[in-house]
Amino acid sequence: MRALTTLLLLIFGLCLTTRAQAEDHPSLGSKQCQTCHQAIYEHEKASRHWLSFKEFAKGAGEAIATKAGVAKPTEAGTRCVECHGHTYLNDKGKSKVEPTSCEACHGKAGDYLTPHNVKYDAAKNGADPAAFLAKRRADSVAAGMTAQWRLNGGYRNCFNCHVGTDEPIVNGAGHPVMKEFELLAFSQGTTRHWHGEAMKQDGSGRQGAIHVAGQALTMQKALAAVGLSKDAGAYRTGYFAMAKAAGARLGELAALLPDRTELKAVIDAAAPLATLTGDDAGKCADLAKTLDPLVVTLLDKLDDTPLADDVGAKLIPANMPAK
């Protein structure tokens, strides 16, 4: 059945566009990853991402779901499981829901498992294991894997769930405004799977870069959220305050990074934020659109020209809690 589905998708995909350009890939579920990544799988089962699925629809969550008109919040197709769960197709081609897991962050695996599942073999792959790894990653990303290690890849992806744009569930149903997300704090703890030497906290240069990227993304995404709002209310007020705070923090960071012209470009373009209010939803939407490509450039530069550890160390907020 999966082979048939894949074939149909392939034919359909070829009619519309080439396979490589097709946006969506079949999702297989985390059991597929467990086969080879058992330790990470066990770790994930104890993470907030996993546990949330079992808890979010009870108590206060049940009341939110009822007010939002969602009768079965843990089932496929509801708004809730877009963030609190993960929908995949099982062997029989049926939609199933599991907790927020591997593919939510690493990408839907239906097309990348094959290029991903190749092991280095000096006889076949040449004498350069690093080049082999880079190619394996590039081929996997081309087939739908998220470049989790890139700021403009996996780190940017966090914001799809952590800065939500569903105004009715906030204003009408009482869902919290998702305004606590701080990329550095949230990415240095459990999210890294706490697995193996290489998965310890990042060095201070990288941490500084993640903090800068997080503030820029927060400002841009929160403005886009305000831009989509229709009403005054907790959603608009919350996200506008979030955009303002991130903009102010970004100004402080720019003063410590005078050589980073891509950061200055973001700050200059964000100048109108000083005089806007949350009620200027249209203008917030326009500003978010202007900022989007500039933020992407900033993220790419931070990845490609890393910050030195002594520079990064000055950017990290004091008492940063690693969640």
Query: Residue 194 and residue 184: Cα distance in Å, rounded?
Result: 15
Minimum distance of ligand HEC from residue 15's CB (angstroms): 27
2 touches ligand HEC (CB under 6 A) = no
141 touches ligand HEC (CB under 6 A) = no
Q: Which of residues 282-321 bind ligand HEC (CB under 6 A)?
A: none
Other CB atoms within 10 Å distance of the CB of residue 6:
15
Task: Report the Cα 263 to chain-centroid distance in Å.
Answer: 21
Task: Report the Cα 122 to chain-centroid distance in Å.
Answer: 35
Query: Residue 1 and residue 16: Cα distance in Å, rounded?
Result: 22
97 touches ligand HEC (CB under 6 A) = no
Minimum distance of ligand HEC from residue 16's CB (angstroms): 25
Give the one residue of 25, 175, 236, 244 binding ligand HEC; rule: CB under 6 A: 175
135 touches ligand HEC (CB under 6 A) = no
CB neighbour class for 305 (10 Å; exposed up to 12, middle 13-18, buried from 19): exposed
80 touches ligand HEC (CB under 6 A) = yes
Q: Structure tokens of 176?
A: 């919290």
CB 70 within 8 A of CB 78: yes
134 touches ligand HEC (CB under 6 A) = no
Instruction: Using alpha carbons, select from 301, 240, 318, 225 the residue that is nearest to residue 266.
Output: 301
224 touches ligand HEC (CB under 6 A) = no
187 touches ligand HEC (CB under 6 A) = yes
Residue at 22: amino acid letter: A
Query: Residue 310 and residue 210: Cα distance in Å, rounded?
Result: 15
CB 201 within 8 A of CB 211: no
Minimum distance of ligand HEC from residue 218's CB (angstroms): 12
Choose between 262 and 303: whose C-beta lies nearer to ligand HEC. 303
Minimum distance of ligand HEC from residue 220's CB (angstroms): 16
181 touches ligand HEC (CB under 6 A) = yes
Minimum distance of ligand HEC from residue 206's CB (angstroms): 8
74 touches ligand HEC (CB under 6 A) = no
CB neighbour class for 312 (10 Å; exposed up to 12, middle 13-18, buried from 19): buried
Contacts to ligand HEC by CB under 6 A = 30, 32-33, 35-37, 40-41, 44, 48-49, 52, 55-57, 60-61, 64-65, 68, 70, 73, 79-80, 82-84, 100-106, 109, 113, 116-117, 119, 136-137, 140, 148-149, 154-155, 157-158, 160-162, 164, 166, 169, 175-176, 178, 180-181, 186-187, 189-193, 195-196, 199, 323
